[in-house]
């Protein structure tokens, strides 16, 4: 059997259960839109930190298939990105009724049916989770080459920014806009509460990183709005809307000289850029509606969230049907470390230290955590320079982020935005010009360098650094 070449990798905080849900039906889901799916993935977990390794050949295949599908749609006038979004939305709508179910009253058989419905809804988001991962490869290279038929020099760079930056407000910015809109016209408490009830339903995905996350409440939104003065709200709202108009205008201007087919191609490319930020709203909404289901699973089987999330989806199904638990020793081992293998669509979880060591040797995975030097290079996302700033690695409690620090993190997420606003600069290991960090830094005009690979290893809390977001460098001073 051909040896798998493990290449592209990501580091995330994941439990085994969350990882398993992310990968449910990965191959079949992608095959709905592309000739082939992805059937291989290796994840190595230590505590809650998990490093994913993708099959290099399958990653490159998906890269080429996304480009081919986009070309084909541009010629035919179709849109596979829209079809993927419709499928994900259909999955979420299929479990909206969970909000009206008292799971405490359900039998084990009915609980199993609800659980299966939840898994099916989650699978609907598979394509929009994985397809956008590769867009900064072949799709962006081809897009920039096509754009060179119309522009050159600095005009090319401006047009390219217009094409790749989402012409639509990304969800977290749209939420910010709606919050500012309400804060700029403060009314009576009863009226504000009603408006926040609608807002909470519209943005139920906010903060829902998984089913055990705490949902945003109406009271949270009311409190957030009350903390913003009318003057500040009006000023920020005007700036946000001006920025949104400028982004839309930049996209429209960039496409003016293009042929019809090329306009379609660049519109699809822009749709993919937007999807990178919209995709988590679907998955987050599914977690929101599944929140009470999982609370009942924890209560019914007397398992803490940490213990429950060491189960795979299949093992949790077995728990519902046969009452078969993982042994306490196995739960403890998995909480310490594990290897999750998805090889040719066959899944296994290893927790024994010797089995993990053998798996790493078998897959030729080496420890790359030792990083030397005092400088990293990445991609400028928003220009600017800051000097003599004490860095702050992102910690679990974002309220500890001091104003004027440099945020250094693997990647950013929507719930990081309050901390990002306080940062003097943002530096990430991962991401490109359409990443969440890049979009938010441009929105709030914060110097930002993305895709450094190793910034979190090179720098530690208390280091003084120079961030040069003109050149894309960060160094200790």
Domain endpoint, select from 304, 332, 362: 362
Q: Collect all residues with Cβ–Cβ distance below 8 Å to 65 and sequence separation of at least 6.
A: 34, 35, 36
φ, ψ for residue 337, nearest 5 deg: -160, 155
- Residue 279 shares a structural domain with residue 247: no
Find out whether 453 and 376 touch, Cβ atoms under 8 Å.
yes
Domain of 243 in residue numbering reads as 171-257
pLDDT the model gives residue 444: 85
- Residue 154 in domain: no
Confidence band of 369 (pLDDT split at 50, 70, 90): very low
Residue tagged 């988001």 (tokens) = 125
Distance from the Cα of residue 345 to its chain's centroid? 23
Q: How far is CA 72 from CA 8, 33, 77, 181, in A?
A: 26, 12, 8, 41
Task: Based on the fold, state whether residues 190 and 250 are members of the same structural domain.
Answer: yes
Q: What percent of the chain has pLDDT over 70?
A: 95
Task: Give the C-alpha separation, 349 to 335, whole Å.
Answer: 12
Q: Is residue 462 part of a domain?
A: yes
DSSP 359-402: HHHHTT---------SEEE-EEEE--EEEEEEEEE--S-GGG--
Residue 312 clears pLDDT 90, i.e. is over it: yes
| Average pLDDT of the chain, as a whole number | 90
Whole-angstrom Cα distance, residue 23 to residue 147? 35
**Is the pLDDT at 341 greater than 70, yes or no?**
yes
* Dihedral, CA of residue 73, residue 78, residue 80 and residue 83, to nearest 10: 180
The whole model's pTM is what? 0.85
Work out how many domains the chain is built from and give that number. 3
Residue 385 above 90 pLDDT?
no
What pLDDT does residue 186 have?
67
Instruction: Give the CATH number of the domain where residue 435 resides.
Output: 3.50.30.10
Q: Using the predicted structure, report yes or no on whether residue 397 has a pLDDT greater than 70.
A: no
Q: What is the pLDDT of residues 184-209, one digit of tens each?
A: 986 666 789 999 999 999 999 999 99
Structure tokens at 456: 């979190």
Average pLDDT score over residue span 227-253: 93
Confidence bin at 133 (pLDDT 50/70/90): confident
Query: Is 386 inside a domain boundary?
Result: yes
- Strands 425-428 and 448-450 come out as parallel
Confidence band (pLDDT; 50, 70, 90) for 461? Answer: confident
11-28 per-position pLDDT tens digit: 888 999 999 998 988 888
Residues 136 and 280 both lie in one domain: yes
Residues 118, 26 share a domain: yes
Q: Region 17-43: what's the mean pLDDT?
A: 92
Q: What is the pLDDT of residue 188?
A: 63
Q: Is residue 268 part of a domain?
A: no
β-pair type (406-409, 385-393): parallel
Instruction: Return d(Cα 332, Cα 438) in angstroms, integer.
Output: 38
Full DSSP string of 197-227: HHHHHHTTTTT-SSTTSPPPPHHHHHHHHHT
- Rounded CA-CA distance 239/234 in Å is 9
């Amino acid at each position: 059997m051909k040896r798998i070449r493990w290449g592209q990798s990501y580091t995330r905080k994941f439990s085994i259960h969350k990882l398993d849900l992310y990968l449910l039906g990965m191959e079949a889901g992608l095959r709905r839109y592309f000739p082939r799916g992805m059937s291989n993935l290796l994840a190595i977990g230590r505590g809650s930190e998990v490093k994913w390794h993708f099959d290099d050949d399958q990653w490159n295949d998906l890269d080429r298939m996304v480009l081919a599908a986009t070309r084909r749609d541009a010629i035919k006038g179709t849109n596979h990105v829209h079809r993927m979004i419709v499928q994900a939305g259909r999955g979420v709508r299929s479990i909206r009724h969970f909000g009206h179910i008292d799971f405490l009253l359900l039998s084990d058989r009915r609980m199993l049916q609800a659980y299966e419905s939840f898994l099916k809804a989650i699978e609907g988001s598979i394509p929009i989770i994985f397809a956008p991962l590769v867009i900064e490869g072949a799709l962006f290279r081809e897009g920039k080459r096509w754009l060179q038929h119309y522009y050159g020099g600095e005009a090319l760079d401006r047009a390219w920014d217009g094409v790749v930056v989402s012409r639509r407000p990304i969800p977290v910015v749209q939420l910010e806009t709606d919050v500012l809109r309400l804060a700029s016209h403060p009314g009576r408490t009863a009226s504000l509460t009603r408006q926040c009830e609608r807002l909470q339903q519209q943005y139920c995905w906010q903060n829902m990183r998984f089913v055990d996350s705490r949902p945003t409440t109406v009271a949270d939104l009311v409190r957030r709005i009350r903390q913003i003065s009318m003057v500040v709200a009006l000023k920020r709202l005007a700036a946000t809307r001006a920025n949104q108009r400028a982004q839309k205008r930049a996209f429209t201007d960039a496409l003016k000289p293009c042929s019809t087919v090329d306009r379609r191609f660049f519109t699809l490319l822009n749709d993919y850029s937007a999807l990178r930020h919209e995709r988590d709203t679907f998955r987050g909404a599914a977690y929101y509606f599944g929140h009470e289901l999982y609370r009942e699973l924890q209560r019914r089987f007397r398992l803490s969230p940490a213990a429950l999330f060491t189960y795979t989806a299949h093992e949790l199904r077995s728990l519902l049907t046969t009452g078969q638990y993982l042994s306490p020793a196995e739960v403890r081992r998995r909480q310490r470390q594990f290897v999750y293998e998805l090889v040719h669509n066959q899944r296994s979880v290893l927790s024994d230290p010797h089995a993990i060591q053998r798996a790493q040797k078998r897959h030729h995975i080496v420890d790359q955590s030792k990083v030397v030097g005092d400088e990293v290079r990445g991609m400028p996302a928003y220009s600017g320079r800051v000097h003599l700033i004490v860095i702050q690695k992102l910690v679990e409690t974002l309220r500890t982020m001091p104003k004027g620090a440099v945020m250094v993190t693997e990647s950013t997420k929507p719930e990081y935005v309050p901390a990002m606003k306080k940062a003097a600069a943002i530096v990430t290991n991962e991401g490109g010009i359409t990443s969440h960090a890049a979009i938010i830094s441009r929105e709030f005009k914060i110097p930002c360098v993305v895709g450094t690979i190793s910034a979190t290893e090179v720098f530690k809390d208390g280091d003084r650094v120079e961030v040069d977001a003109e050149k894309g460098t960060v160094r200790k001073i």
